[in-house]
Amino acid sequence: MAQLKYLFSFKGRVRRRTWWISSALTIVFMLICKTVLDVASALLRLASVDFSTGHTAALAFIILVAFISKLAFDVRRLHDINGPGWLVALVFVPPIGPLFNLVVMGAVEGTNGPTSTGRPSNRSYRR
């Protein structure tokens, strides 16, 4: 249960390295799920079973779960650089989104010490 809370919590902070790992794992998770669903759909199609509606619903659910988790990590990453969580909306602006994600989320060092959202996730900050 603690893992689910960690994946979907919008409170607290996430360091840059953890954000990169979560981003990579989200992509890997989505690719694995898509592959499994495609294989299952193909096998069921061979057995003359229509799985197109179930395939679409399962894929939509997986995308929703991954999206909420990724959004939570993005908000916590913004908290780590002492930014407001609502700035995550910039990710959805087409020309700015990818640059914002790479530069601000992936390259900017987190704030040393406590911020308005709490202490850093690791203990290696200067007091």
Residue 42 covered by a domain: yes
Residue 56 covered by a domain: yes
Helix (H, G, I), strand (E, B) or coil at 40: helix
pTM above 0.85, yes or no: no
What are the tokens at 83?
């930014």
What are the tokens at 116?
């308005």
Is 17:124 a contact under the CB 8 Å cutoff? no
Residue 114 covered by a domain: no
Q: Look at residues 54, 108, 49 and name the one whose alpha carbon lies nearest to residue 83.
A: 108
- 24-71 per-position pLDDT tens digit: 999 999 999 889 888 888 888 888 877 777 778 888 898 999 999 999
pLDDT band of residue 124 (cuts 50, 70, 90) is very low
pLDDT at 72: 93
Q: How many domains does the structure of the chain reveal?
A: 1
Is the per-residue pLDDT at 15 higher than 60? yes
Can you say how many angstroms the Cα of residue 127 is from the centroid of all Cα atoms in its chain?
Answer: 30
Q: Angle at which helices 52-80 and 16-46 pack, to 10 degrees?
A: 180
- 64-116 per-position pLDDT tens digit: 999 999 999 999 999 999 888 899 998 889 888 889 888 889 999 888 877 77
110/82 Cα distance (integer angstroms): 8
Domain that holds residue 86: 2-107
Residue 125 covered by a domain: no
pLDDT at 121: 61
